[in-house]
Structure 1
Amino acid sequence: MEEMDEKEFDSVVTTDLFNRMKQMIEEKLFPSENMIMLLKCIGYNKMLKCHRNRNLSHSELCNFFEKKINEEEKKEKEEKNEKLLMDLSECFITLGYAFPYELLSICVSYLLKVAMKKKESKETQKEVEMAFVALCSVEYYEVEKEMYLNEIEDIFQYHQEHHNLTRLAYQCAWQFLMNKLLADSSLKGAIVYELHFAREAARELEELKGKVDWKRKEEERNGGKGEKEELVLLRWLQTVYSFCGLQEVMNEEYIVLIDSVVQLFRAAKDNHKEISNMCICIFTIAVGDNAIGIDALLENEVIDVICGNIWQSTFEEKVPKECLSMLSAISHRLKGKEDDETEEAKRKMMKRKMIKKMEEEGFEDSISSFHGFISLFNKENRNGFYFNIEDCLTYNKGNEAP
């Protein structure tokens, strides 16, 4: 399974496979401990590579899991097999979807018990990692804050001091919390100011960037067969994307995070399309977010990335299209005059800096050869967005001083 791409994975992990597994368990043709180990391995690989396989939920094994979890949970405390409940919860959550609320609450509580283990042995680290891989698949289901917030805060604070979690476990823990933020905006303060997501994510991106072989060509990455560091890096970028989409308060840590994404893009742009495209998606949010100033975008070189990649010859690629849209968004932000004199002076200064940047990148010289490019963009775009290159970041003579 570690070598399978998503198509291969789906061809093997079928509803029929799960139905046969359930039959083998009932007929005692296969030791249940080994079956659980196999199912945990399937769920782990599915989540690591972000496969969307949902075949368990359409199988008889899914109903079997629900029944077994409920039966075991109803037992008296001294009769209850918590290890079995933890294992069943992990299999059920990683392989299924659309969970009944009561069952979800049971599974989350047992997975958190595993996740809170603090021993630094490799065996414990692996158990904790697999628990968090399961927890981050809970996605947007509403689970009361009281069920997890204190535990998650304790886990983060302990890790930030002792570094006991694996990189994947730490990323999954953040994704679990970010999923909850979509349903409960009151978590934003804790995520930004108490747990310092932006600072932690920037550090993780920087460290992972140093572990990836960026010289490996794109064609050498076949399907889901990338190095684990690359897979974890992509997962972190998806979590950063979720965070940036919800961020409304700019602080220094947020700006440092965007700078880390810029440096990652520069490392990935030649040989890793998936990572570089994900970086561009994050820049798109940053450019459109009024909380981060144009001056910050200039300082951390987001503007350089836009200018440096907008002139790619293959317009079918995602990057130049996104860069063109970002350029338009910056232009729109700099157009409207401010009533406050200080803010208006700042806007004009930023506009002058942007024009200087455009000139340094040969913007003016490229306009004549770029008409066909823009025409194709406007023709193919289905979102109603129309780009007029002559209006982009140029002054209206007579209306504004240069």
Structure 2
Amino acid sequence: MNEVIDEMNKYELFYNLNGYIFDKIQKMIKEKKLSIESSILLLKHVGYCCVLKNAYSLRFEETPLCKRFKNIIIEEEEKKDEKNDNLLTDLCECYLLLNCEPSSKLISICVPCLLKIALKKEERCDNQKEVEMALLALSDIIQWNKVKRELYLNELQEIIKYHQKHQNLTRLAYQSAWMLLTNIFKHESSLLNIIMNELHFAKEARREMEELMGHVDWGKEKEERKNEKKKDMWIAKRWSRTVDKIILDVEFSDEDLIASLACIIRLFRLTRGDKKIFSISFKTTLLIMIIHHNIGVNGLLKSGAFDFLMEKIQKPTMSNEDTNGNLKIFLEISRQLKKGRRMKWKKQKERH
């Protein structure tokens, strides 16, 4: 079953893993055809694939199975003695990975539980996998405004800083820690200085994307590397989405801006755009860089963005969305050029 789920793309996950499947699993548990432990492990893997591939709206929170899991989590947390920590961890991960809108009560239980796992620093392979799963589940929480600051900030900084020194996390775990921090940033603008200046987000995101692109022979389909290659591609795309989340609110240096844009363009080329979703994400990023960060023609030339856009326009066929996106970008470039000429003319007039 896990192998079948691994092979599904985000659209197949979205359409096939629905309320009917969860009700079927609930029925099998009741009829003792499937143990609760086995169902949790299966659904953890489902959630892992869904979050990694950005497949949402599984409607898990509307099902009796979700209610059952919530009750077990609350019961385990309230136990004073003989608490089953492994069961609680598995259930918290399963619940967060499959649930787009976790309740405040469950968040207050799951976040400390999973941060405790994420703080493990041993570099054993099995430990790294545990930490990866915990951070991936936490990175998917949207409602961080419901979480008290003292539950996460010091721990997250420790996780990221320790990895920067000791390289103890997997690539996905490290990316998830950053996605988690940038999700929180939307509710905690005071984190901006920590993200950019203490933890060096721009440098780290670019380095990780460059390493991912160099880590894989993207042009060859080797069967033994197929699943690993797919995972690396999804991690790279998660980095791109993380940049998208924060780029409007962050002041990049000119050097970081051009280097980051060049990196995203190279990533886009290597993954061949991977359907329209990544294409739209890339163009949104580029528009923000042009409008908000005033990246000029020189920056577009240095980063390779201008050449990339010209290649897209010269294709014999383009979708309406592609045409619309490209036109918006060229209109903004045109406005920047006019703005630059007006500024130059104004300065010359002031001199005379």
Alpha-carbon shift at residue 192 of structure 1 (Å) = 0.9
Structure 2 length as normaliser, TM-score? Answer: 0.85
Which residue, 98, 104, 109 being the options, matches 1:106? Answer: 109
Partners of 1:97 and 1:273 lie apart in 2 by 23
319 and 14 in structure 1: CA distance in 2 versus 1, 3 angstrom threshold: closer
Letter in 2 for 1:161: K
Which has more helix, going by share of residues?
Answer: 2
2:41 — aligned with what?
37
Partners of 1:345 and 1:287 lie apart in 2 by 19
1:157 — aligned with what?
161
Are positions 1:94 and 2:97 aligned together? yes
346 and 211 in structure 1: CA distance in 2 versus 1, 3 angstrom threshold: farther
Alpha-carbon shift at residue 270 of structure 1 (Å) = 8.2
Are positions 1:138 and 2:141 aligned together? yes
Are positions 1:300 and 2:299 aligned together? no
**Does structure 2 retain, via aligned residues, the 8 Å contact 1:311–1:320?**
no
After superposition, where does 1:65-84 map in structure 2 within 5 Å? 65-76=69-80, 78-84=81-87
**Does structure 1 retain, via aligned residues, the 8 Å contact 2:131–2:173?**
yes
1:366 — aligned with what?
none
After superposition, where does 1:352-371 map in structure 2 within 5 Å? none
Partners of 1:309 and 1:11 lie apart in 2 by 31
Q: Deviations over 1:217-276 (max 9, x none)?
A: 9xxxxxx99722112122221112112233245354343222212333444458876655
- Of 229-238 and 318-327, more deviation after overlay is shown by 318-327
**Does structure 2 retain, via aligned residues, the 8 Å contact 1:181–1:188?**
yes
**Does structure 2 retain, via aligned residues, the 8 Å contact 1:310–1:324?**
no
Answer with 1 or 2: which has the greater Rg: 1
User: 3-state DSSP class of the match of 1:2?
Assistant: helix
After superposition, where does 1:13-52 map in structure 2 within 5 Å? 13-26=17-30, 28-52=32-56
User: 3-state DSSP class of the match of 1:313?
Assistant: coil
**Does structure 2 retain, via aligned residues, the 8 Å contact 1:181–1:187?**
yes
Structure 1 length as normaliser, TM-score? Answer: 0.75
Letter in 2 for 1:55: R
1:352 — aligned with what?
none
**Does structure 2 retain, via aligned residues, the 8 Å contact 1:171–1:232?**
yes
121 and 29 in structure 1: CA distance in 2 versus 1, 3 angstrom threshold: same
After superposition, where does 1:2-401 map in structure 2 within 5 Å? 2-10=6-14, 12-26=16-30, 28-76=32-80, 78-142=81-145, 143-215=147-219, 227-250=230-253, 252-269=255-272, 275=278, 278-290=281-293, 292-316=295-319, 318-336=321-339, 344-345=343-344
45 and 154 in structure 1: CA distance in 2 versus 1, 3 angstrom threshold: same
- Of 245-254 and 155-164, more deviation after overlay is shown by 245-254
Letter in 2 for 1:176: L
Partners of 1:345 and 1:293 lie apart in 2 by 14
194 and 270 in structure 1: CA distance in 2 versus 1, 3 angstrom threshold: closer
**Does structure 2 retain, via aligned residues, the 8 Å contact 1:287–1:330?**
yes
User: 3-state DSSP class of the match of 1:50?
Assistant: coil
Letter in 1 for 2:38: N
Structure 2 gaps of 5+ residues are 222-226
Q: What stretches of structure 1 move > 6 A for 4+ residues in a row?
A: 270-273, 346-349
- Count residues with an aligned counterpart: 340
Alpha-carbon shift at residue 321 of structure 1 (Å) = 3.4
1:380 — aligned with what?
none
Letter in 2 for 1:209: M
**Does structure 1 retain, via aligned residues, the 8 Å contact 2:213–2:267?**
yes
Alpha-carbon shift at residue 279 of structure 1 (Å) = 3.1
- Of 234-243 and 310-319, more deviation after overlay is shown by 310-319
Q: Deviations over 1:45-87 (max 9, x none)?
A: 11111111423212101111111111111221x3322222111
